[in-house]
């Protein structure tokens, strides 16, 4: 709902929707949703004779709205900042998944142990009844280290930090404002593909040159423009759609099936280390940037291969390959780490390429991320 609304507004009423105001609104909604979840997540309402978690469902919808709409607003906003902010944006995006995952692991919810429980039973033999003690292994779930209230309050704190960070970002010098102060106000090159997608009145923000305040600083050197054909841009967008389909929808839904047969420890390692691989790949992309389409295709194929292995193991669950072997544990963890790392690096590459194109290109990046 959110991305559709923002995209249609940018297409048919360009300039009417103020990006900064929209971001403030959606992050504020995220803060309120997390805060209310902390106190209302367990409340139920009687509807048609059955209890339903109405507050939980409604607030989860608003959190999903925040998550999805951020994809089509945060990235276009980065167009107004210096190019180096794009890589750090992707690092932050990876950390936003890693930090809650670490907190969830620290909570320890769902961890179980086998306990030998004794029962006293009456055994009747003929006319005699004798008491006997039998022992039986049962699964006992350990209580979490901290409550759900604490977890959601932590999430509220993260959203407040996000709101504060955006407040300071809006105080940063804008790329398009700085470019207007220099001698390159007309450095706008229309591209046929961008015209097909969406330009409108946002052209004034789309291709401003990057300058730092110090005229002698290295940042004054204009980044080299790389032109891409319509076919190449179509390939980039198709790769973005495919990669986001794998990383956002297809593979995360089967991670438990592919890892839990190897044990809880293996599952926790795969979930945590793959979350670490995301921001780590973004950091690598910051120091080793690349705009090679060949490399982008190779990384996509490699990530797809690791994803195919993860999916195959999930299909074999609960009796996958090498289940009783340490090699099986190591391979599935490594496969998840490499799957996340290679495709995260690819997404940063695509974001950097589209950042050099136009604001509308980043809008469509966010749209395709949600479609994936």
Block means of pLDDT (10 residues each) for the chain, 372 residues, are 82 81 93 95 89 93 90 82 81 83 76 73 72 74 84 93 91 59 34 37 36 39 59 87 88 90 86 86 83 90 95 90 88 94 89 75 72 64
* 111 burial via Cβ count (<10 Å: 0-12, 13-18, 19+): middle
Cβ proximity of 37 and 59 under 8 Å: yes
Give me 141's structure tokens.
């779930």
Structure confidence at residue 207 (pLDDT) = 37
CA proximity to 24, closest of 77, 102, 90: 77
What's phi and psi for 179, nearest 5 deg?
-65, -30
Task: Report helix, strand or coil for 354.
Answer: helix
Question: 């809006």: which residue's tokens?
Answer: 170
Q: How far is CA 352 from CA 36, 206, 291, 302, in A?
A: 37, 14, 8, 20
Residue 92: count of CB within 10 angstroms of its CB: 15
Residues 6+ positions from 162 with CB-CB distance below 8 Å? 27, 30
Rounded CA-CA distance 53/5 in Å is: 27
Rounded to the nearest angstrom, the gap between the alpha carbon of residue 206 and the centroid of all alpha carbons in its chain is: 25
Structure confidence at residue 31 (pLDDT) = 95
The whole-model pTM stands at: 0.67
Structure confidence at residue 135 (pLDDT) = 75
Q: What is the 3-state secondary structure (H, E, C) of 31-100?
A: HHHHHHHHHHCCCCEEECCEEECHHHHHHHHHHHHHHHHHHCCHHHHHCCCCCHHHHHHHHHHHHHHHHH
β-bridge partners, 129: 124
Structure confidence at residue 298 (pLDDT) = 94
Write the Ramachandran bin of 322: left for phi over 0, alpha for psi from -120 to 50, otherwise beta. Answer: left
């Amino acid at each position: 709902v959110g991305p559709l609304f923002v995209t249609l507004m940018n297409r048919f009423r360009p300039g009417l929707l103020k990006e900064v105001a929209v971001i403030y609104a959606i992050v504020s909604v995220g803060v309120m949703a997390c805060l209310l979840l902390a106190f209302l997540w367990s409340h139920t309402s009687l509807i048609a004779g059955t209890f339903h978690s109405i507050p939980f469902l409604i607030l989860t919808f608003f959190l999903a709205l925040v998550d999805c709409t951020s994809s089509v607003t945060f990235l276009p906003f980065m167009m107004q900042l210096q190019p180096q902010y794009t890589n750090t944006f992707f690092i932050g995006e990876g950390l936003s998944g890693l930090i809650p995952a670490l907190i969830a692991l620290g909570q320890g919810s769902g961890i179980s142990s086998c306990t030998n429980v004794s029962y006293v039973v009456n055994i009747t033999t003929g006319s005699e009844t004798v008491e006997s003690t039998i022992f039986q292994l049962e699964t006992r779930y350990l209580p979490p280290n901290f409550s759900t209230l604490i977890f959601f309050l932590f999430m509220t704190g993260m959203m407040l930090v996000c709101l504060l960070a955006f407040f300071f970002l809006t105080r940063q010098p804008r790329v398009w404002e700085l470019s207007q102060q220099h001698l390159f106000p007309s450095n706008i090159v229309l591209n046929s593909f961008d015209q097909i997608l969406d330009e409108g009145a946002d052209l004034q923000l789309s291709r401003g040159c990057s300058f730092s305040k110090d005229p002698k600083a290295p940042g004054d050197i204009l980044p080299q423009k790389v032109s891409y054909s319509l076919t190449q841009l179509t390939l980039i967008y198709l790769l973005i759609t495919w990669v986001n389909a794998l990383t956002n929808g297809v593979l995360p839904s089967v991670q438990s099936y592919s890892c839990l047969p190897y044990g809880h420890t293996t599952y926790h390692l795969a979930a945590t280390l793959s979350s670490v691989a995301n921001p780590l790949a973004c950091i690598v992309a910051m120091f080793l940037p690349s705009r090679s389409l060949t490399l982008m295709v190779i990384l996509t194929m490699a990530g797809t291969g690791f994803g195919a292995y993860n999916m195959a193991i999930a299909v074999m669950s609960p009796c996958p390959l090498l289940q009783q072997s340490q090699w099986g544990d190591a391979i599935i963890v490594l496969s998840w780490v490499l799957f996340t790392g290679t495709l995260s690096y690819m997404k940063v590459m695509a974001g950097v390429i589209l950042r050099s194109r136009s604001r509308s290109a980043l809008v469509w990046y966010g749209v395709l991320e949600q479609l994936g």
